[in-house]
A and B are shown apart, each in its own frame.
Chain A
Amino acid sequence: DIQMTQSPSSVSASVGDRVTITCRASQDISRWLVWYQQKPGKAPKLLIYAASSLQSGVPSRFSGSGSGTDFTLTISSLQPEDFATYYCQQANSFPPWTFGQGTKVEIK
């Protein structure tokens, strides 16, 4: 199975900050990388698929990049509604689909 590792596990940031989260796959997954956002008590929400394609309705301050084994999610200017936990997921070799352990974006 492909292992996904996110860093950092948590990040403290202020409104307006630029935030970057990284995700590393244990083997080459091309661009088959997905990002989800999850708020407390809610289901995850699809943000980005195919490493850099923004899901419909997702604000343009979110962007994704990378290929192969290394990927990043960037929030260009953090907004109050962006405080949440973010998960990466590989969609290259499944089943099983595998997720990173999550990165919690907290208010500084």
Chain B
Amino acid sequence: EVQLVESGGGVIQPGGSLRLSCAASGFTVSSNYMSWVRQAPGKGLEWVSVIYSGGGSTYYADSVKGRFTISRDTSKNTLYLQMNSLRAEDTAVYYCAANSPFDPWGQGTLVTVSS
């Protein structure tokens, strides 16, 4: 069964850092496009970042460029999102998702940026 499981969310103060993980099973992270998509409370979906298969080119939404870094560990078959200089507006459920169109999705992990 193909499955993605996120972890690493929590409450963090503005300006702080957090690293999210997305562990994959049933498929190979490095062989697929892997994205992070977030959803602020009561709001819609916002694509955040992607790492492409193969060479691993990375891209970011303007809202997180320069603050977030996407990466993967092939030995652990895991995707990561390093989030620095966090702001209140980064508060959201963060989902990892594979491929384009996005399928499958993980269950999400909540990040709350608050003092």
Chain A residues closer than 8 Å to B50, beta-carbon distance:
94-95
8 Å CB interface, B58-96 against A: 59-61, 95
Contact of B103 among A46, A95, A98, A100 (CB under 8 A): A46
> Separation in Å of the A21 CB from the closest CB of chain B?
14
Contact B101 A99 (CB under 8 A): no
Most buried by A among B44, B45, B101, B106: B101
CB of B101 within 8 A of CB of A101, answer no
Contact A89 B101 (CB under 8 A): yes
B35 in contact (CB, < 8 A): yes
**Chain A interfacial residues counted at CB < 8 A:** 22
Tell me how far the C-beta of A93 lies from the nearest C-beta in chain B, rounded to whole angstroms: 11
Residues in A whose Cβ lies below 8 Å from that of B59:
95-96
The size of the chain B interface, using a CB distance under 8 A, is: 18
Interface flag for B100 (CB, 8 Å): yes
Q: Knowing A43-B95, A43-B108 touch, does A100 contact B101 (C-beta < 8 A)?
A: no
**Across the interface, do B61 and A44 meet the contact criterion of CB distance under 8 Å?**
no
The residue of chain A having its C-beta at the shortest distance from the C-beta of B58 within the complex is: A95
Chain B 47-58 against A: per-residue CB contact (8 Å), 1 yes, 0 no? 100100000000
Chain B residues positioned under 8 Å from A102 (CB to CB) = 44-45
- Which residues of chain A have C-beta atoms less than 8 A from B108's C-beta? 43
Residues of B close to A43: CB separation below 8 A: 95, 105-108
B106 CB contacts on chain A under 8 angstroms: 43
Proximity bits, A25-47, B CB within 8 Å = 1, else 0: 00000000010101000111110
Chain B residues whose C-beta falls within 8 Å of the C-beta of A77 in the assembled complex: none
Tell me if B107 and A96 are in contact (CB < 8 A).
no
Shortest beta-carbon distance, A91 to chain B, in Å? 5
